[in-house]
Every structure is written in C-alpha cells, then in structure tokens.
Amino acid sequence: FAVAKDATPETTLGTAYSPVDYMSITSFPRLPEEEVMQGDIAYKSRKDDDNVLGEQETDPDIFLRSARLQRLPSSASDLAYHDTVSLRETTKDPFTQDCACQRDGLSVIITACLTFATGVTIALIIQIYFGDPQVFHQGAVVTDVARCTSLGFEVLGKQGSSVDAAITAALCLGIVHPHTSGLGGGGVMLVHDIRKNETRVIDFRETAPAAIRDGLLQTNLDLNPGLLVGVPGMLKGMHHAHQLYGRIPWKNVVSMAADVARNGFNVTHEFAEALANVKDQNVSDAFRDLFLPNGQAPVSGLSSRRLDLARILDAIAVKGISEFYSGNLTQEIASTVQASGGVLTEDDFGNYSTVLEQPAHINYQGHHVMVTPAPHAGIGLITALNILEGYNITNQVPRSSTYHWTAESVKIALALASGLGDPMFDTSVSETVSKMLSKAQGSLLRQMINDSQAFPVSHYTPSFSLEDGAA
C-alpha cells in the first residue's frame, strides 16, 4: 500500500489512528490514477470534492479524479478515499490538539447520553412512585370462609385492586355464609391508601324506611317481622367502592362471585351450626324450603349450590345495580316485606344512598389508628386507647394490671358508645363524639380508675342498654 511504504513515524502514527478502518480502505475500488498525491494536489482534490460539479477544472488529472469521484457511492469507502489522498506528514499528533469539529461531536454525544439517562431516571422514579406496580409482589387476604379467601386472592392475581378483591370476597360471603351477610344486608368498608396516606369510609349500612314509626314497633314483631327490615345497602356500597377504587370491570368482579353460587361450595361448620340453631324455631316456609330441605340442617362439608343467587348476580353484573334498586327485584322485595307486616316501599330503594366519609382517628404510641365514625362504635375503640395510653402498657407491665386497666377502660368506652347515634339526624351526637375522641377526657377518665378495685360502669359514666349479640 503506497501510504504505508513511504511512511515516516509521523505518518504511521497518523494512519494508525485514522478513523477509517483497514477493510474500508482495501475494499475501495482502485483507480489507475490512484497514486500518492502531493499535498497541494490532495488539497485541491478535496476542494473539488466540496465543489462537486461546480466549476470545471483546468488540470485534466484533477478533472478526471473529480469526475470519477462523482460516480462513487456515498459510503465509508468514500470517506476512506479522501483520507487516503489527503494524508500528509505532520509534526505533531493531530489528535492531541483541540479539534473544534471533534469537540462539538463529543459534546453532542455526551449531552445526548446524559439527557437520555436523566430522562430515563426521572421516568423510572415517577413510575415507582405513581405508576402501577410492575411486579406482583406481596399481599394478604383474610375472610370468614376459605372459598371466599381464595376468590379474593384470585382477583388480586388477575391484577384486580384490593377493593375489587374485597367486593368479590364480600359478595362470596353472602352466598356461602348467608346467616352473616348478603345482598339483603349492609355494612361498612374502610379503605386506606398507603402511598397517599388517604383513608375513606364507605358506609352502606341499612336505613330505616320512610314510613316506619316508633309506635309500629310496639306490636308483636314476631308476627310482623317485615317491620325489622331496613333498606339494604350492600350492593350500592360495593358499587360505590368499585367506582372509587375498581380496576377490573364491575361485570367481572360480580361474575366471579356468581360463579361460586353456580358452581357450588361446601357447607361450612359455622353455617351448619347456625342452621341447626334455627331448625326448631318458627321460620317461614320459604326459609325452610331454601335452607332446611326435608326439615334437616345440612351437615358441614356437604356440597351446595345457590342457582337463585347466581341468576341475581348475573343480572346485576350485566345490567348494574339498577336491577336491584329500581327493577323487578325492588318490587319483589317490597311486596315480600309488606306481606310480612313491613312498610318498606320501592321509593325507599330509590332514595337510598351510601355515605362517603373520613374515618375517626387518633395517635396511639406512635401509631395512627383509624376507625369508622358514628353511628358506628369505632369511636369507642379510640376512647379505650386514649385511656390506656396513659398507663404506658408494655410487655414488662404485670398482666394483672394490664387486664384490669383494659377491662375498666373498655367498660367506660362501651358505656359512652351506647349513647351514640346517627349524627346526620342528631347534632348532639357530635358532642359525645368530641368527648370520646379527646385525650384530655381520656386522662380524666383514667384518673377515675382505681388500680386495685373494679367498679360498675355507673361509677364512671351513665350508659344505655345495648342489644345483646347484635352485629
């Protein structure tokens, strides 16, 4: 190769660091005029190249080269050619000095890399804090029945939210444990968002019908059990929760519960025991037909199905909760209740609404405790903890003292809770609530507790009757 043959140390250095690779140079189509060019010719050739088909050259050799260069494809070989012909001896390493072009290129590359890296980092941080979790990590589901726990777990596995899982599991419990809950009941849901430190209470407890009066309840309620029925809130509560926190479609959430009713489940110990307890009591024929076939309570472990509930849930999954609150089911429920001496009407269903509210809360020994507000008795838990916090209970405190203080504190809390009611109907409830939430009040009540002697509740505060065993 011509360049290598006459290479001086400087030129060798120059080619060795040439940005053009060897293969590119050797693969270059050789031209007959391809000789080692003098520096000035090379310079002129480059100048021609810049001019492309600009002005005509007077030198035939240069013109020929220029013309052939126009035919060359634009490629790395093209670049190689120019470098080859422009090689000349230098007295210093051209790469050690600042080259404006190289510096600009490097700056662009570095800037681009840094910008890209910064962008990716910011995007990752945003994703970590605000995005959906990309890894299906830890979680736990607890319910009264194994079948419903598995179902809730399954919802989480399908990327459903915690609330989706809770809705399906709660509806499932209404199927498998109809003695504790169901579509004809109500309840309350507390949802806490750890990241946002935000908590909401969805109260879907039953409400009293519009036509109910105190006097009506003075009758024999065994003969008129319809009077005991409040407006069911279960489905509206579940739907409200799904609107706020649902991730998978309502239809899927409800259908998964419907599948349990359709495909069957095993009678649990608790359900079998509850049925055994009512077997000999006065219950309606409809109840007996449904739960006590042949007059016998099913034994635990027996397979059971609820195709009736499956049909209802399927309809609610497809048509929404209007099926329950303003459809044929509404008419049916109202007429059934009225036939049992009740006063529930279709309008009561139409007027029913859930309550979305903030929880009541306190700090207890470095922990933030959140409970459902009045008319729920969660406030009573706060009162008990307010009293107990002053005792600084640890595992070093003797059990006798811990038990005694706890018993007396809960006694006081129960007494105060027995005076609670719905604050939307009685503003004076707010005063009771404030008293129960107050740490100062807790301290005063603590001073009334004798460390070595139990007292009846009247020693601490007045109380009202509590219904035994009511949920």
Q: Which is nearer to other proteins, 87 or 145 (CB)?
A: 145
- Out of 14, 37, 85, 152, the residue judged to bind other proteins by CB under 8 A: 152
**Per DSSP, which regions of 27-123 are E strands?**
none
Contact of 155 with 256, CB cutoff 8 Å:
yes
Contact of 360 with 382, CB cutoff 8 Å:
yes
Q: What is the CA radius of gyration of the chain?
A: 42
Burial 229-265 (b: 16+ CB within 10 A, else e): bbbbbbbbbbbbbbeebbbbebeebbbbbbbbbbeeb
Q: How far is the CB of 103 from other proteins (least distance, A)?
A: 47
Which of 120, 141, 366, 346 has its CA nearest to residue 232? 346
Binding positions for other proteins, 304-323, rule CB under 8 A: 306, 308-309, 311-312
Which of 133, 120, 37 has its CA nearest to residue 81? 37
Which of 308, 304, 316, 182 has its CA nearest to residue 254? 316
Dig out the tokens for 187 from the structure: 């309840």
- Out of 18, 77, 438, 463, the residue judged to bind other proteins by CB under 8 A: 463
Q: How far is the CB of 320 from other proteins (least distance, A)?
A: 17
Dig out the tokens for 340 from the structure: 């049992």
Q: How far is the CB of 251 from other proteins (least distance, A)?
A: 20
Q: How far is the CB of 123 from other proteins (least distance, A)?
A: 20
Q: Which is nearer to other proteins, 65 or 411 (CB)?
A: 411
Binding positions for other proteins, 224-283, rule CB under 8 A: 225-230, 232, 234, 245, 247, 268-271, 274, 277-278, 283
Q: How far is the CB of 298 from other proteins (least distance, A)?
A: 14
Under rule CB under 8 A, residue 184 binds other proteins: yes
Q: Which is nearer to other proteins, 85 or 362 (CB)?
A: 362
3-state DSSP call for residue 94? Answer: coil
Q: How far is the CB of 77 from other proteins (least distance, A)?
A: 57
Q: How far is the CB of 244 from other proteins (least distance, A)?
A: 11
Q: Which is nearer to other proteins, 85 or 374 (CB)?
A: 374
Number of residues that this document lists for the chain: 471
Under rule CB under 8 A, residue 9 binds other proteins: no
- Out of 37, 148, 253, 317, the residue judged to bind other proteins by CB under 8 A: 148
Under rule CB under 8 A, residue 213 binds other proteins: yes
Say which residue the tokens 């004809």 belong to.
184
Under rule CB under 8 A, residue 24 binds other proteins: no
Question: Left if phi > 0, otherwise alpha if psi is -120 to 50, otherwise beta: which for 182?
Answer: left
Under rule CB under 8 A, residue 43 binds other proteins: no
Under rule CB under 8 A, residue 208 binds other proteins: yes
- The stretch among 1-9, 21-29, 71-79, 388-396 that binds other proteins (CB under 8 A) is 388-396
Contact of 219 with 227, CB cutoff 8 Å:
yes
Contact of 188 with 376, CB cutoff 8 Å:
yes
Which uninterrupted H or E stretch holds 55? Answer: none
- Out of 76, 79, 248, 410, the residue judged to bind other proteins by CB under 8 A: 410
- The stretch among 27-35, 64-72, 81-89, 198-206 that binds other proteins (CB under 8 A) is 198-206
Q: How far is the CB of 440 from other proteins (least distance, A)?
A: 19
Which of 471, 424, 439, 446 has its CA nearest to residue 361? 439
Q: Which is nearer to other proteins, 103 or 311 (CB)?
A: 311
Rounded CA separation 427/148 (Å): 40
- Out of 257, 420, 436, 445, the residue judged to bind other proteins by CB under 8 A: 420
Helix spans in 52-99 (H): 60-71, 76-86
Binding positions for other proteins, 44-63, rule CB under 8 A: none
Binding positions for other proteins, 425-454, rule CB under 8 A: 425-426, 428-429, 432, 452-454
Torsion angles phi and psi, residue 363, rounded to 5: -100, 130
Axis crossing angle, helix 250-263 with helix 146-157, rounded to the nearest 10: 150
- Using a 10 angstrom Cβ sphere, with 0-12 exposed, 13-18 middle and 19 or more buried, the burial of residue 17 is exposed
Q: How far is the CB of 453 from other proteins (least distance, A)?
A: 5
What's CA 100's distance to the chain center, in Å?
54
- Out of 86, 418, 438, 441, the residue judged to bind other proteins by CB under 8 A: 418
- The stretch among 14-22, 41-49, 85-93, 387-395 that binds other proteins (CB under 8 A) is 387-395
Contact of 191 with 359, CB cutoff 8 Å:
no
Amino acid making up residue 164: D
- Out of 166, 260, 317, 436, the residue judged to bind other proteins by CB under 8 A: 166
Under rule CB under 8 A, residue 203 binds other proteins: yes
- Out of 15, 180, 252, 304, the residue judged to bind other proteins by CB under 8 A: 180
- Using a 10 angstrom Cβ sphere, with 0-12 exposed, 13-18 middle and 19 or more buried, the burial of residue 66 is buried
Binding positions for other proteins, 323-342, rule CB under 8 A: 329, 332-333, 336-337, 340
Binding positions for other proteins, 346-385, rule CB under 8 A: 351, 355, 359, 363-372, 374-378, 380-381, 384-385
Q: How far is the CB of 396 from other proteins (least distance, A)?
A: 9
Rounded CA separation 178/399 (Å): 39
Under rule CB under 8 A, residue 101 binds other proteins: no
